[in-house]
Amino acid sequence: MFSPDLAKSMAKKLRDALAAEGSDVPHAKALELVAKSLGFSDWNTATATLTNAAPKNIEFTGCSPILRFFDEAKAREFYCDFLGFRVAFEHRHTADLPLYMAVQRAGLQLHLSEHHNDASPGSNAFIPTTNLRALHRELSDREYSFNHPTLEKLPWGLQMQVHDPFGNRLRFCEQGS
């Protein structure tokens, strides 16, 4: 069931996706586009119809693993240049304190932290993925000298594992393949 909050979230994601392709759309326009895509004549009609009723069942709406890193330039090279993520946000309390940032791509958001207590190096993130072969081709074409991922057929699906420069492992898996 759609709620006004979910529709607002959709509008934000629409604006982010359009901005990534060079089209800046005002928030109000994104809300109107989402309302029309949901079958409403306009945003006001949508908000009058949709409810923010509490869900009856527990639902997990996503997960953002936190991965530790030690070198900002290497993290950007790996996550942005090699894997094709873009920075979603960055935060430092002051210029001399550790960086906390998020990167995102195709619906996945990873949090990266220089903070000592946020995560341990050597973490694993299991990432359900569609069209894994296309991602593998894309990464192979980049010829990143520190990582040459291969595809592996496992009982639970086709998997590709990459290691970041800090010992973390990202396991992309197309389940059932």
Top pLDDT among 106 and 7 is at 106
* 3-class state of residue 151 by DSSP: strand
Residue 90 has pLDDT above 80, yes or no: yes
Q: Can you give the pLDDT at residue 139?
A: 95
Q: What is the pTM of this model?
A: 0.69
127-174 pLDDT tens trace: 999 999 999 999 999 978 888 899 999 999 999 999 999 999 999 999
Beta strands 169-175 and 157-163, pairing class: antiparallel
Give me the CATH topology for the region 66-175: 2,3-Dihydroxybiphenyl 1,2-Dioxygenase; domain 1 (3.10.180)
Q: What is the spatial distance between Cα 119 and Cα 79, in angstroms, rounded to a whole number?
A: 17
User: Mean pLDDT over all residues of the chain?
Assistant: 89
Task: Enumerate the domain spans of the chain.
Answer: 4-49, 66-175
